[in-house]
Amino acid sequence: MSNMNYRVFDDSQQVVEALAQSLLEYSEMGRPIHISLSGGSTPSQLFSYLANADYATRIQWQNLHFWWGDERCVAPDNEQSNYGQAKALLFDHIQIPAENIHRIRGEDFVAGEVIRFTEEMYDTIPDSEGQLDQGKTPAFDWILLGMGTDGHTASLFPGKTDYETTEIATIASHPESHQFRVSKTAHLLKNAKRITYLVLGASKASVLKEIADNAPAAEAYPAAKVRCEKQADTTEWYLDSEAAQELA
């Protein structure tokens, strides 16, 4: 696994504590920090922890801007909404400016929302040189991603991901449910300054090993291909002991 930067934690609580400490450090940098969140059980545990720990008051929330890697095309009060999960568990319990929360409007017409979401990112997030430029790809400070048992990440699925597009947002559909989603593209994700994959549980162990070993099967996995492009930037994997059990 020499080509992967990974940390193995005993359990999800240790993962959450490490993420919370990173958020605190980012908030103290004195400039707007753009962070892309994912859905799932580990982020929900993180949100609850932040709302109930001293981080709720120690973090300088006014410096943090929150976005999402993808969103299901549902209303914000739907139980499947990634934004709705974060709002109920965290945002309703902390002091953060409303303009710092950049949700994907899953209830809106999907093609129109891709355009609106794209424009908001271009208008708000500087490029790698710190400039706001419609011609340059926005560079997120930190992107949190999960990984499915099929190797998907965000809503980029095997066999359905365009790695060549220079668009920064796209319409995706789940290969089984066919539910529509709005997702960041691989092009945008790879331009981040830091990508942290959160991969927990034994069900992910075999896929993770294939990615770590550069096995032929991993060629199909978006999670194997979406990594920071610049050498100075960081792609890392936060794993629990169960997910890491097959790694050498």
Domains of the chain in start order, with CATH, are 19-240 (3.40.50.1360)
- Residues 198 and 200: their CA atoms lie apart, in Å, by 6
Which two three-digit tokens encode residue 26? 């980012």
| pLDDT tens-place string over residues 128-154 | 999 998 889 999 999 999 999 999 999
Determine how many CB atoms are found less than 10 A away from the CB of residue 5: 13
What's the Cα-to-Cα distance from 128 to each of 36, 72, 120, 190, 227, rounded to whole Å? 16, 28, 17, 12, 15
pLDDT digits (tens, 9 = 90+) for 74-85: 999 999 999 999
pLDDT band at 3 (very low <50, low <70, confident <90, very high): low
Residues 124 and 187: their CA atoms lie apart, in Å, by 18
pLDDT tens digits, residue range 7-57?
A: 999 999 999 999 999 999 999 999 999 999 999 999 999 999 999 989 999
Residues 6 or more apart whose Cβ sits within 8 Å of residue 131? none
| Structure confidence at residue 231 (pLDDT) | 87
Give exposure, 18-56, as e/b (b: 16+ Cβ within 10 Å).
ebbeebbebbeeeeebbbbbbbbebbbbbbebbbeeebe
pLDDT in tens, 200-246: 999 999 999 999 999 999 999 999 999 999 988 999 999 999 999 99
- Residue 30 is given by DSSP the state S
Q: What is the dihedral of CA 128, 132, 136, 138, to 10 degrees?
A: 60
At residue 129, the pLDDT reads 92
Rounded to the nearest angstrom, the gap between the alpha carbon of residue 236 and the centroid of all alpha carbons in its chain is 12
Instruction: Specify which residues 185 forms β-bridges with.
Output: none
Return d(Cα 81, Cα 150) in angstroms, integer.
21
pLDDT in tens, 89-140: 999 999 999 999 999 999 999 999 999 999 999 999 999 999 998 889 999 9
Q: Give 237's strand partners.
A: 6, 197
| pLDDT of 2 above 60 | no
Distance CA 4, CA 49 (A): 28
CA-atom Rg of the chain in angstroms: 17
Q: Taking 50 as the threshold, does the pLDDT of residue 1 lie above it?
A: no
Amino acid at 173: S
Residue 133: the pLDDT is 84
